[in-house]
Structure 1
Amino acid sequence: MANSAPRARRTERSTVQRWAAFSSDPAGGNPAGVVLHADGMTEDEMLHVAAEVGFSETAFVTRGDQDGLSIRYFSPLAEVPFCGHASVATAAALAEVRGAGGYFFATPVGQVEIAVADADGGRIVRFTSVDPFVEGLPADTRTRILSVLHLDPADLDPAYAPALAYAGNRHPLLVVRSRAALDRMAFDPAAARALMDAEGWPATIIVAWPEAPDRWHVRNVFPVGKISEDPATGAGAAALGGYLRETRAVTPPQRIRIFQGSHVGRPSELTVDIPATGGIVVSGSAVRLPDPATPA
């Protein structure tokens, strides 16, 4: 173990790419680290690199069976089963080397299909989630979430029942009745982290508001390291799409747009296509971020 940290530091400085997913502007979107050649790295080394990078997730790609690709995701604190924005970032990074086209990632939650297309000098990346499902959210759990987020039961939209929505991760999902409630939401990161750890939620708490049936504004609580709120959450977008289908709030096929990140100064846009069956399709732009200066 004595040599793992120096090796991780060398890996981080030499091979980590930095991308922003779900924006064509480097000042927007959700930043992710990408290590395209992670073969031989231990879990401890991956976690160390993710902590040094400091983004909500860093993706690590290794060679899988039959020339396929395996991918793992680490926040600065722990491994995450699936991360949509880091998948988008990784596919964009691969496309710089291999060109636009299709990829299959073997993730801890199953195979995820990714497609990269060139568009207006940039790239659009689309992933298809694993099959989503929805579970009920116990009333006492809902009460604890509302307390942590400083929201009242009257803030909830009665047309959308609170739920646990899954499309790779279990996300508690609340829909509020107004933009004012969404904007007013506030939380102590330590209290939110304690609740999420106690409930075993590896990813974000989703709070959403429908401006229109096909236009949603979303905030995703995700306290990890220096981060408290996710600017763009691909897995959460897929979970919301699955929830809308399962609860018959939409009639598939349906496309919705999700706007996220304005509350943390990194505006993002995610397009969600909801088919009648199968995985939810989430797409958006990706842009490479400049590498940090190497210390002298």
Structure 2
Amino acid sequence: MITIENDYLSIAIKEKGAELAKVYNKVDTFNYLWTGDSQYWGRHAPVLFPIIGKLNQDTYTIGQKEYTMSQHGFARDFDFELISKSDDHALFCLSDNEQTQKMYPFKFKLEINYVLEGKKLSVQYTVENLSETNKLPFALGAHPGFNVPLNDEGGFSDYNLSFEPDLKNPVQVLEIDDGPFPFITGNNKNLTLVKDNVLNLEYTTFDNGLLIIDEAIKTVTLSSKLSKSSITLEVSDFPYLTLWTLENKQAPFLCIEPFYGLPDKVGKMGNLYDKKGNCILAPLDTKEMQFSMIFE
């Protein structure tokens, strides 16, 4: 486990998956990040790369060849190399190898830099296409889970999410297929529960699974009138924002997930180059994006 900290926050990051594992408030002595309790969901904040969600039949094609990859891709299950570290940053790297090539026949480098400044933790991603000839198709998502309630103050339904800038009325979310896996249908639907850019949290909102908001969101804040604590995410580099908690379990956490990419469309086994939401990098090109979390 790699730790960075300052007077206010202590941050722990696993080398496996370069996964954020703890965001601890040293002043008020509590953890903002979901504990990873396996009776609900045994992860904290996995990195989703090079796909988001599940593939139809766990399979996709490149040219005439089929490849198999599990849900959310492989990055979360590989050990990253720690490139550099100081009191306020930790830089991790994963490059293609013999194992990744069997699932994803591309030359790439993924760097993730955690930077702590006061009450803000920034997560900076750099994806590099190492091929001189082939384009690199990929999706990249963050999947942080947060304890709700924060610091045991109130309950889940005492919290809300507030969004900036103003959202459409009604808010547009991607329609999710009602099968066993959260594939998209290709249609949008209205989320009428958002009033004046605020979504009050209720477990029933997630009875049918995740919500993928199809809006240009700059910030989203998790807060409650019953708590002095809050979390604000700055997500403008990501075109989609996903919300999820475990269905029908009343689990004490909420995932707030910036997505650059989408799950598969139901029933359509596809080509990563043509998949909606994917980023396509030219040979030897680089893509940078980041999101930040402000912990009050």
- TM-score, normalisation: structure 1: 0.32
Q: Which protein has the bigger helix share?
A: 1
> If each structure's strand is expressed as a fraction of its own residues, which one has the higher value?
2
TM-score (norm 2): 0.32
